[in-house]
Amino acid sequence: MNPHDSLPGSPLSRPQGYELRPRLLAAFLGMGFVILAASVFAALILRSVDLGSKQMLEDLSARVAIVSKMRQEFLLLRVAEKNLIIEDTQEGMEVFEKRIANSESQIDRMLEDFHGKANEEERARLAEFESGLKDFRLSLKEVMALSREHSLSRAAELSRGKGREEFQRGREALIGLIERYRERIAKSAGDPAGSERVNYLTQLIATARDALEGMHDLQYLEQAILTVFSGAERAAISDRLESQEVRVRGFLDSLRQRCEESDRMELAAFGAALDEWSKTNDEVCRLAREDSKAKAMALSTTAVRDAYLRSSATLDRIMQESDRSMSEMRAAQEKALTASRGLLIGLAAAGLLVVSMAAWVVVSLLMREFRTAGELLMRGV
């Protein structure tokens, strides 16, 4: 050991602070490492919270999008059902039936997709929607069957087709009979003794004209029953048709009782046409009074409407609850991100403080060493 090292005035003697410097530096370096590790951990937490929140929001947004599309498709289904009811042509009804089938298929696909993404609360709501959708589909099936039947259109076709042909045959038979009576009157006009026969034939012509007028009244009533909308009006017209037919048959019976043997062929033709036309009229009245389209519309405005509103309300509740969950999730995400950012900023500030303190201590020690060395050097000189 050098003896000069222990002398107080020796320039090589070590001050007390020299032993503390390595410890202080080690302590500051340790604190810096801890703060750095904590900062990295906080940054990882911040990233994890951000990614997790984004994923949850994306999943919720996807479910909201499915419900929104489902609600839109459900509305299109309802519109197609209404259009099917008011459509008259078979081709047009087929178009709307295809739209209904497509909308139902889309809803089923979206339901399956939503089931795979929904939480427990949403699945409970979805069960409510599916219950209403089941009732809607049952009623819709009945509406479609009634619309396809289209009894009023069938009644109109029957009236314009077979009914008009039978009416024409009866009318032609009566007109032929009237023309024959007129020819006979013309032959009897120059005979002084034929006045009684002329009166007889004139009465027959008047009865035949009454029957012909009654036929036209029947045709008018048959057309009228196809143009009214209420069941009460159709029932009233149907009753008038029955009364008018009884009146026409009364004219026919009067002609049969008073006609000559040679006229019975025309009267038989008229009677046969009237019988056939009466059967056709009965079918026209039955189809018109049944009015499957009106029944379909009545069903659409009651059972179908109730099921639609119930199901739509469930979808609306799912949308409202999803919007609320999304708002709450965004608020929680913002809160967590704010807290994580605050922690990260605090750690960065603490690290900066520690580094500053370490630098200050090192500089202070170095300055002290320089002063001590200077003093020792001056003493030595």
Inter-axis angle of helices 120-149 and 90-117, to 10 degrees? 170
Where in the chain are all domains bearing CATH 1.20.1440? 151-290
Q: Which residues of the chain have pLDDT under 50?
A: 1-18, 20
Contact between 311 and 132 (Cβ < 8 Å): yes
In the chain, residues under CATH classification 1.20.120 are: 33-147+299-347
Query: CA-to-CA distance for 14 and 5, rounded, in angstroms?
Result: 8
User: How confident is the model at residue 11, as a pLDDT?
Assistant: 45
The answer to whether the pTM exceeds 0.85 is no
Report the CATH architecture of 151-290: Up-down Bundle (1.20)
Look at residue 40 in the predicted model and tell me its pLDDT.
61
pLDDT tens digits for range 88-102: 788 888 999 999 999
Q: Where are the alpha helices (DSSP H) in the chain?
A: 17-86, 90-117, 120-149, 151-158, 164-188, 195-224, 231-258, 264-290, 292-299, 305-380
CATH topology of domain 33-147+299-347: Four Helix Bundle (Hemerythrin (Met), subunit A) (1.20.120)
Rounded Cα distance between 366 and 371, Å, is: 9
